[in-house]
Amino acid sequence: MLAARSRNMARASADLAGGDDLAGRVLAGDKRAIAQAITKVESGELPGRDLLAKLYPFTGQAHVIGVTGSPGTGKSTLVAAMAQVYRSRGAKVGIVAVDPTSPFSGGAILGDRIRMRDLAGDPGVFIRSMASRGHLGGVAEATSDVVRVLDAAGCGVIIVETVGVGQSEVDIVRMAHTVVVVEAPGLGDDVQALKAGLMEVADILVVNKSDLPGADALVSTLQAATALAAGQARYAGHHQLEAAATTQPMDGSPGRRAVAEDSAESWRIPVKEAAALHRQGIEELVAAIDAHRRYLQASDLWRRRERSRVESDLATFVRQALFRRLMERLAAGEWEDLIEAVVNRQLDPHTAAEQVVEQQFGASE
């Protein structure tokens, strides 16, 4: 592969430079350098953006897998078990936990704390928690940048774990190539209700804790639901971001209308069973994820999902760059005066926004 060759060249040049170049050390897979790079990138400042620019040509190789589900489904244990399967194949694995309840984020401790620690000590595994709130520009953008760093660092598989509640969190998982939605028997009604918004983004369903009572009934229910969906003629793009590739959003938001992925062969959402705590069903789950990757690549959907993700990121960065430009041009106190006018109800915020934009960049056409 061309990218692999470029990566080797970059590693070589990093070696020549004495290894003190952060981008070079990231490309070489140095765990400390990766951690430093992520911290730099998360700040959203210029040095982070410059670093991403250097790393970007080496990205696009990783299979990004989103794993999501309600609290109590044991998805962190599942992620750890999946990572071990990928490691046994020799792949480097990145884990990004956007989930305050995850043990990866220092959340609730599950039964297999020791195995988690084994994972963290493995030089071929990089774990990053995005649990802390207040990322500048939002956690979705920050996650996207972190995935890019891990991709450049040679992680062939990047697992993004989200708690599966909340708009940003669903948006994040939606940007993965393959979305695994985790369910489990025996959860309360309130928790079960959380899953409503998740089914629509699933590429693969997995019933974890399959050794517990109620697992078979849950599997049957989910199989019936997916059979119903398969009865419809096509695998109409449930990944709403797909649409961004074909529509030009004029409203300042990433394009999100759902369109039928009409070039795609039908994908029937499989329902898998697993007992992650006992390492059961994990190989089968990973095989289903592999099948989904082959499906995406054969049907051109892989590239279309990349394109959607790029458009969404690009729109975000353009809005940030535009806002910075505007702020540079405003006279001292002008922004504060505008806020004051809106607080005092002399202007409404939409009109105020249009006015300041028109004043700096000219009238709308």
Contact positions with a copy of itself (CB under 8 A) in 201-240: 240
CB of 287 to a copy of itself, least distance (A): 28
Interacting span for a copy of itself (CB under 8 A) from 54-62, 113-121, 214-222, 288-296: 54-62
**Interaction between residue 169 and a copy of itself (CB under 8 A):** yes
Interacting span for a copy of itself (CB under 8 A) from 212-220, 246-254, 268-276, 292-300: 246-254
> Using CA atoms, how far apart are residues 142 and 124, in angstroms rounded to an integer?
22
Q: Are 175 and 312 in contact (CB under 8 A)?
A: yes
Q: What is the DSSP string of 284-348?
A: HHHHHHHHHHHHHHHTTHHHHHHHHHHHHHHHHHHHHHHHHHHHHHSPTTHHHHHHHHHHTTSS-
Helix (H, G, I), strand (E, B) or coil at 276: helix
Which of 253, 266, 297, 359 touches a copy of itself (CB under 8 A)?
253
Q: Given the complex with a copy of itself, which of 284 and 354 has the nearer CB atom? A: 354
- Angle between the N-to-C axes of helices 46-55 and 31-42, in degrees from 0 to 180, rounded to the nearest 10: 130
> Using CA atoms, how far apart are residues 340 and 170, in angstroms rounded to an integer?
35
Instruction: Please report which helix (H) or strand (E) contains residue 66, including its range.
Output: strand 63-69
Interacting span for a copy of itself (CB under 8 A) from 119-127, 153-161, 276-284, 325-333: 325-333
**Interaction between residue 353 and a copy of itself (CB under 8 A):** yes
Reading the block at residue 28, the tokens are 């070489």
**Interaction between residue 20 and a copy of itself (CB under 8 A):** no
Binders of a copy of itself among 70-89, rule CB under 8 A?
71-72
Q: Given the complex with a copy of itself, which of 228 and 250 has the nearer CB atom? A: 250
Which of 191, 199, 225, 230 touches a copy of itself (CB under 8 A)?
191
The 287-306 contact track toward a copy of itself, x by CB under 8 A, reads ----------------x--x
**Interaction between residue 249 and a copy of itself (CB under 8 A):** yes
Interacting span for a copy of itself (CB under 8 A) from 10-18, 53-61, 218-226, 276-284: 53-61
Interacting span for a copy of itself (CB under 8 A) from 80-88, 261-269, 279-287, 322-330: 322-330
**Interaction between residue 242 and a copy of itself (CB under 8 A):** no
DSSP at 345: T
Q: Nearest 5°: phi and psi at 20?
A: -90, 5
Binders of a copy of itself among 90-149, rule CB under 8 A?
100-101, 107-108, 133-140
Give the length of the chain.
365
List C-alpha distances in Å: 292 to 48, 62, 187, 206, 279.
33, 14, 28, 14, 21
**Interaction between residue 320 and a copy of itself (CB under 8 A):** yes
**Interaction between residue 248 and a copy of itself (CB under 8 A):** yes
Residues 6+ apart with CB under 8 A from 347: 338, 341, 355
Residues 6+ apart with CB under 8 A from 333: none
**Interaction between residue 192 and a copy of itself (CB under 8 A):** yes
